[in-house]
A and B are shown apart, each in its own frame.
Chain A
């Protein structure tokens, strides 16, 4: 399992695959397209499993929303997707004084500050688009069953002029086939809306959250909540009582027979289980290498668009 800064993903994955190991690699797949192609090629040549850990596809609540809402066409025609990853944090780590004498140069980092804060420097990471932005792009691609044909972007280092060279604010527009557009903002100056993806269709709106999806149908008021649960026969699934009013609804107090299963932790566990299952039985994994590579191409295109202020096609990087 590779959980290093992204600039090392390609080198470690290729070496591991060539040594006959199956590889589960944290996203992004790599920081450039060439490394992605080589990783795929070495995995195929050595007949080893290479999987990029976009765990959103292993979140049961996301999967339930995809299968039960998106694939069933409940949203009608979708033209617009809005997505955010908003935080109010510099993401900067301070080095403990006890490590002051540590020399990270043999490992490719010019200083301890660079080693700790690799997310803030382009030479080690792809910036916010490779990191949180990439996960969002991966999920949008999955739900729209498509990859962007072109992107536009603006942004910059607005809040944290602390020596970093990656942007702390990125606003990107992604054009998908069939007149579909996704608007994505990754900012570090306000955490109000947190992280979500909102898919807007002619019949309804789907909001993907952490462990629960919300569905708003255009024709009527109110919201339908969709989540998942591991239902056990041995434990009560629900507890009967006198009527519990809507605002006081509480599934959790006693009943353990339908434990909620969505969320990040569950997604990670499922992903690792699926990776092991794929090694054991050859079962297909949910996010293909082609999908993971397409996310990298999109993020490279957004990063280029940020600099050029022009519309950029991800396929330029293929």
Chain B
């Protein structure tokens, strides 16, 4: 779908490229000013994904890599809505997720952390939002893990989320954190976002009443993607 252009991305709502507290950013941050062209049809449309692409267990990380058992760990449902900045629901948003297992170990060739792999857990899943923008998946709460940055830093428990809205301009990859995790304010990657109030928008809230009784806790996490301008006039005004 093509259509009206999007509001400019508010860069102060995102981490700056150069964030020396996160050492990997130092050599990977461009320094020249970004170029802001007008949006074309390529920017205001994007690849689309349908519910028929999903396998029956794609949204169940507890079972989708089973070797006969279920993944170990604290069982959770993550759910919420995908909305745009105008508070309109975004249907058919593809959400891909990846995460460490309950011990903080990734099933990845480059992860050498001493915590063991879980043979029944790959840490990969995906889901697509429904007509009201609602999505959900089931997983285990990932463990925190150490990584070399300032000596041994620790990542708070987190789930990586990649989101496609209806247009390429809405493309976003982020990380979900968990309410009450004391490692959040200590994390150099979290702290690439200068404003702690902005960080709060990455913190999923315990949603006790939506638990699956005697099975899984629930966490609520709403996602907001860029919204379209309401008129072309508004675009010209700012695009001058």
B and A form one assembly: no
A-side residues, CB < 8 A to B, are none
B-side residues, CB < 8 A to A, are none
